[in-house]
Structure 1
Amino acid sequence: MISAILKDKPTKLFIAITAFFVANALIAECIGGKIFSLEKLFGFEPVNFTILGYGGLSFSLTCGVLLWPLEFVITDIVNEYYGPKAVKRISYTAVALISYAFIMFYVSIHIPSADWWPASKKQDGIDDLQLAFNGIFGQGMWIIFGSLVAFLVSQLVDVFVFHKIKKITGEKKIWLRATGSTLVSQLIDSFIVLTIAFKFGNNWTWKQVIAVCCMNYMYKATVAILLTPVIYWAEKRIERYFGSELTMQMKKAAMGKI
């Protein structure tokens, strides 16, 4: 029985997708504490937008946004071949394991260090090693809570929109259901995480929340559109792996038609 499960192509692919999905989300959360300048990354001066009277806005983004777009690509692929229940399962799994990781980060920060553990690494420019460790792994609770809530809600919205569009378009226009669902869910994701982490957690004004949300969403929407060809590439590879007959069976099952 175990051998049959491990040889089953849809099962093997689902396990691989789930593992990458969870790992990618956890890495995104861990590196999210660093803010980078998108303009400087490409050799430009930071822009200076004004939105709702809040000026000085530029594309200063968390490093987590480098990986989060892949989560929505994976969500669309799982939606296409395994259905909404599978998307919810990997989303709940990711949230549970990320929560577990942050609990372990918290524990590791607060347990006493060994006497021989170096207090600093002067040669690397680190004066206080414990403080540096705390700064990397000790993200604020509002940010952690906000990112997890935003992630889960946006995933469920993505599932809903994706299948609503697919019921109308059928097997055609995968770009519409993939990109369309991502554009909607990314907007919700940006608004929720900023509201929880910075409105409730840091007393931002609503104008500031909306202004920064607009900047973040411009980046996310652009990336979502640019990643559309990846969906087509993945679909071709999966169909080649499964074969046309099994591919069609899985797509019908994902839509609840068999």
Structure 2
Amino acid sequence: MEPAAPPAQATRTLDDRAVRLFILLAAFFCVNAVLAEFIGVKIFALEDTLGIAPLEWNLFGQSGSLNFTVGTLLWPFVFVLTDVINEFFGRRGVRFISWLTVALIVYGFVFAFLAIATAPATWWVGAAADRGVPDYQAAFAAIFGQGMWSIAGSVVAFLLGQLIDVGVFHRIRRATGERWVWLRATGSTAVSQLVDSFVVIWIAFVLGPQHWPTSLFLAVSSVNYVYKMLAAVAMIPLLYAMRHAIRAYLGHQREAQLRHEAALD
């Protein structure tokens, strides 16, 4: 029987800055994605939030103000984190974190439904009546009890988008080498989010019980895709800033080693 590894071994592993970096990126990736799923139930009006007049867009026969789920505010950070993880930890890193995130999303919703199913305390139901919430239980269920079609659409679209993103990212990387970080970042996002934006709406609102007409499906999906792409372009400086910070944290030699291994993955 081989002797057990000394306790100091775990400490040495966690002292590896690359390990710490992966844990940090994974934690922010997972919390952003899970949080986006839970707060996404709220729809906000972009023009009203910015204090400007409604744009009254007209697309595929649909018109009105620009409305988005609050979750869209977090997805651009997920895109940046995906590209950074891709850059330094390769396909396996992104796939591992993507599957972990899906598991955490499902885990979160399972316990949300269990929480809804518990019998509320009588006094608690009306505890916020003076604040405009006459039934706390109904409000809790409405916020956390998102429809199964919406959950399924979000999970499938997220996982499909991530797997496409990692594939396109490395195709561009093989073609361009270490040049043009912005191209592989925005290029992979452009393809993956084209799929993501349309799949999630299709499953949640076309196949689901609401049965949206094709014109509404195309209009809402297109607006969401355009927003995601504009956000991805706007986040390019953050991508470069994170690369610079990681290089300073790891040191040039370790950073180059990680990028080389990721490119071969």
TM over 0.5: yes
Q: Shorter-chain TM-score: what band?
A: over 0.9
Cα distance in 2, alignment partners of residues 218 and 247 from structure 1:
33
Does residue 202 of structure 2 align to residue 204 of structure 1?
no
Cα distance in 2, alignment partners of residues 171 and 59 from structure 1:
38
Partner of 2:146: 139
Cα distance in 2, alignment partners of residues 29 and 143 from structure 1:
10
Does the aligned pair in 1 maintain the 2:36–2:71 contact within 8 Å?
yes
| Corresponding pairs, count | 256
Partner of 1:248: 256
Identical aligned pairs, as a percentage? 44
In structure 1, which of residues 159, 179, 188 is the aligned counterpart of residue 186 of structure 2? 179
Letter in 1 for 2:199: I
Cα distance in 2, alignment partners of residues 251 and 166 from structure 1:
11
> The residue matched to 2:133 in structure 1 has which SS?
coil
Q: Which runs of 5+ in 1 are unaligned?
A: none
Cα distance in 1, alignment partners of residues 81 and 130 from structure 2:
41
Partner of 2:3: none
Structure 1 residue 255: Cα displacement:
1.1
Partner of 2:246: 238
Structure 1 residue 57: Cα displacement:
3.8
Letter in 1 for 2:132: G
TM-score (ref. length: structure 2): 0.94
Structure 1 residue 217: Cα displacement:
1.3
Cα distance in 2, alignment partners of residues 200 and 154 from structure 1:
19
Does residue 14 of structure 2 align to residue 6 of structure 1?
yes
Letter in 2 for 1:125: G
> The residue matched to 1:99 in structure 2 has which SS?
helix
> The residue matched to 2:146 in structure 1 has which SS?
coil
In structure 2, which of residues 18, 22, 36 is the aligned counterpart of residue 28 of structure 1? 36
Does the aligned pair in 2 maintain the 1:82–1:251 contact within 8 Å?
yes
The 5-angstrom pairing of residues 80-229 of structure 1 reads 80-201=87-208, 202-229=210-237
CA deviations on 1:29-82 (whole Å, 9 max, x unpaired) are 111011111112222122222222x22243200000000111110000000000
TM-score (ref. length: structure 1): 0.96
In structure 1, which of residues 37, 43, 58 is the aligned counterpart of residue 51 of structure 2? 43
CA deviations on 1:205-232 (whole Å, 9 max, x unpaired) are 2222111111111211111100011110
Cα distance in 2, alignment partners of residues 212 and 90 from structure 1:
29
Letter in 2 for 1:36: F
Runs of 4 or more consecutive aligned structure 1 residues displaced over 4 Å after TM superposition: none
Does the aligned pair in 2 maintain the 1:59–1:216 contact within 8 Å?
no
State which drifts further: 37-46 or 134-143.
37-46
> The residue matched to 1:39 in structure 2 has which SS?
helix
Structure 1 residue 116: Cα displacement:
4.4
Cα distance in 1, alignment partners of residues 257 and 118 from structure 2:
52
